[in-house]
């Protein structure tokens, strides 16, 4: 798919501020992806966030702790993105910041299995989901009105405690 001009501009800006690439001590890389290039299931998850749910898994709309500091500092929530052909929750997620900034990952579980070499990390990610690179993708190319809807939805959704429905 061709990269939109908006995505190119956003990526240049994010690189200038150190938001893309691999920072010192980062376990995973941060990439950018245009909204239109997301899997349909990720777009549907974002629509579900805007609608306020209901979410299919009890872990949805719970705090994402960013323990490995792969993402910029801030408060985040995670939402499941269904993976075609997988019967359980799978490893794909939308991670949402309260500001309306969204991230997509296809290797949620792989990235928290401990310290690995970059080569081992890439191989492990391919075993989880060969279509995607290890790390997080910041979602770019969103219209401001759409991002504002996301931000409003997140501010109206109380964060759910883990283990409670």
Residues labelled as active-site residues: 78, 108
Place of tokens 């805007």: 50
The total of other beta-carbon atoms located within 10 Å of residue 16's CB is 9
Distance of CA 88 to the CA centre of its chain: 18
d(CA 11, CA 14): 5
Q: 42, 104 in Cβ contact below 8 A?
A: yes
- The CB-side HSE value for 131 (13 A sphere, CA atoms) comes to 11
Q: Which residues pair with 77 in a beta bridge?
A: 63, 96
Q: Which of 99, 87, 129, 98 is closest to 111 using CA atoms?
A: 129
């Amino acid at each position: 798919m061709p990269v939109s001009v908006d995505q190119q501009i956003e990526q240049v800006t994010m690189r200038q501020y150190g938001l893309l690439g691999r920072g010192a001590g980062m376990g995973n890389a941060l990439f950018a992806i245009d909204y239109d290039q997301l899997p349909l299931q990720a777009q549907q998850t974002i629509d579900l966030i805007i609608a306020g749910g209901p979410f299919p898994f009890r872990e949805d709309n719970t705090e994402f702790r960013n323990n490995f500091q792969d993402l910029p500092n801030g408060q985040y929530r995670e939402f499941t993105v269904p993976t075609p052909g997988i019967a359980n929750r799978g490893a794909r997620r939308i991670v949402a910041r309260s500001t309306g900034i969204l991230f997509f990952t296809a290797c949620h579980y792989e990235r928290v299995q401990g310290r690995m070499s970059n080569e081992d990390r890439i191989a492990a990610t391919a075993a989880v989901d060969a279509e995607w690179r290890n790390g997080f993708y910041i979602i770019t190319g969103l219209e401001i009105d759409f991002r504002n809807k996301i931000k409003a939805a997140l501010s109206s959704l109380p964060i759910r405690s883990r283990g409670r429905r």
